[in-house]
Structure 1
Amino acid sequence: MKKRFAQVLGMALATLFVMGQTWAAGSFYVDPNSQPAVWARNHADDPRAAKITESITHVPTAQWFGSWNKDVHAAVSQFVAAADAAHQVPILVAYNIPNRDCGGASAGGAADADAYRAWIDAFSQGIGKNQAVVVVEPDSLAQFDCLKTTDAQDARLNLLSYAVSRLRLNAPAADIYLDAGNAHWTAADVMANRLHDAGIGEAKGFALNVSNFYPTQESIAYANAVNGVLGSRFGYTKPVVIDTSRNGNGSNGQWCNPAGAKLGEPTGDATGQILLAWIKNPGDSDGPCGVGPTLKAGVFSPDLAVRLIEGN
């Protein structure tokens, strides 16, 4: 099965329009203090711990940063320094845009535009000259329509463009990926326009399927469609990072702790065109819903983690 997946992925990648850096196996940082790793260490006698350790804790996974970090500069610096000491590249997610998640399960974010600019300045300065992969503001462009006025939409585009420019300035070795939702959310031509207006011309590429479940091949097809529009309208195309943390069984149409989801291909399958990576932390709840009806968004659940391991 894995061999067949690799063949299909290879054929799909051959159609992607972009070129870029090729990451070597083992390049990415495995955080020994990730939520699954800490839980497994603290519950060594629990039979779920061995499964989580074997299937999840050794896989490089993104670290998310937001308003819960009291000092985001210090938090990012510490994470990046640990990765550097391990001679690995960290994956980070900036998740603090004002009106985050449009008041949904992950509501929050910076209080206003000025607060966000200060926050992204500190975030980017925390990375400094180190290598990193950075996913910028999941859902912020795909949820664009919840911003009811043109002024509010323009303000978001300006903040995303600011984030890209400050990351370029303060973290010049970082690969920046603007989030572009998923393959079944926003029409490719609409998303291409939004990405362009948000400053993707200065970024490495765009991110797909973050915290979602669609098969990798569907994300690749969507990436090709977006790149087709970017190429024809704006004269450039971009690489893509695809979240494979929970897409092993594909999507059943539900986005919030659905039953039957399964771990996907681990972080590190990459070429110059595409990077497969675990952006969502397996076992972290999407919110109080689905098979985790009492779990707040972002809370790690060993039961959710085991469900992803077993695919039930």
Structure 2
Amino acid sequence: MRAEVHAYVADAARLNRQPVLVLDPLTALDCSEAGYAEWFTEVTEGIEAHRALVVLKDKECEAESPRTTMMTVGVRNLRAAAPGAMVFLDATQLARKQDPPGVARTLATWSVKETAGVAINVGEHTPQAVADRYGIELRQTLAVTTGRRDLYVVADSSRGGVASADGCNPSDARIGSYEVLSDNPETTQHLWLTTPGISDGPCGSAPASKPGQFVPELATGLLAGTP
């Protein structure tokens, strides 16, 4: 892990590019606080002092450690050992079930005040315009909850070009706008946080695929109708 992260961010630095890391802490050795700390040590030692935009994914751990522990351990370790990292907390799963005020309250317990902001729509097919509106409302609510008006909201736009009929490898999904970032936190930012062509699992237009598997047909399908 350490070597892979270091090679990626170092190559980006040589090319004067902004590396983007989407971290899934559930690949840690276990779901304990010690397990997370060990995993994040590997990541942060790979980043070192390099610049990086880091999205900390939100997943429920089946063992003893709750999501709050997972996210706060990540924020604490990244801030301490990777000072060049801009950390964003993934609020995608929260946004499925809660309105922006509810999401903001939960994010406050995840130390969102110590981060650069929040990521939404990660791996989802929500239309870009819908994600943008949700992002603006969430940012406004976070400003009230945290007292910070400089928190950014980044939406995964890799698969949000149109409204899709299904949420799992939909055949009618299309790519969204390509990575539009600005220094204005009042607008929802756009990044491709999911590689086009990555499968959601054995469903939809890729019934024989595995979650996370690259399926060329899914990637080409996203480009249908694109000039």
Establish whether TM, by shorter chain, passes 0.5.
Answer: yes
Q: Which residue of 1 aligns with 2:180?
A: 268
Post-superposition offset of 1:227: 2.5
CA contact (8 A) 1:180 1:207 kept: yes
Query: How big is each residue's C-alpha offset from its partner over 1:195-224, in whole Å with a ceiling of 9 and x where there is no partner?
Result: 110011100000011111112222222123
- CA distance in 2: counterparts of 1:111 and 1:224, whole angstroms: 35
* 1:199 paired residue number: 111
Structure 2 counterpart of 1:163, one-letter code: G
What are the equivalent positions in structure 2 for 1:250-261 lying under 5 Å apart? 250-252=163-165, 254-261=166-173
**How far apart are residue 109 of structure 1 and its match?**
5.1
Determine whether 1:225 maps to 2:137: yes
In structure 2, the partner of 1:292 is 206
Structure-2 separation of matches of 1:296 and 1:75: 23
The within-5 A match list for 1:142-291 is: 155-181=66-92, 184-237=96-149, 238-252=151-165, 254-273=166-185, 274-291=188-205
Asked if 1:93 corresponds to 2:22, the answer is yes
The residue number in structure 1 matching 2:30 is: 111
Query: CA separation of 1:116/1:311 partners in 2, compared to 1, >3 Å: closer, same or farther?
Result: farther
Q: What is the CA distance between 1:270 and its match in structure 2?
A: 3.1
Structure 2 unaligned residues grouped into runs of 5+ = none
> One-letter code of the match for 2:157?
T
Q: CA deviation at 1:131?
A: 0.9
Amino acid across the alignment from 2:134:
Y
Partner of 1:305: 219
Q: Which of 47, 52, 69 is the aligned partner of 1:132?
A: 52
Contact 1:212 1:255 in 2 (8 A): yes
Task: Give the superposition deviation at 1:232.
Answer: 2.5
The TM-score with structure 2 as length reference comes to 0.89
Secondary structure of the corresponding residue to residue 206 of structure 1: strand
What's the CA shift for 1:96? 2.3
Identity of aligned residues (%): 31
TM-score, length basis structure 1: 0.66
Tell me the distance in 2 between the aligned counterparts of 1:225 and 1:122.
35
Whole-angstrom distance in 2 between the partners of 1:261 and 1:270: 26
* Matching residue within 1, 5, 9 for 1:80: 9
Alpha-carbon offset, residue 267 of structure 1: 1.6
2:175 and 2:77 map into 1 onto residues whose CA distance is 34
Aligned residues: 221
Q: Given that residues 288 and 297 in structure 1 are in contact (C-alpha distance below 8 angstroms), is that contact kept between their aligned partners in structure 2?
A: yes
Structure 1 unaligned blocks of 5 or more: 1-71, 98-107
Q: d(CA) in 2 for partners of 1:115 and 1:173?
A: 23
| SS in structure 2 at match of 1:175 | strand
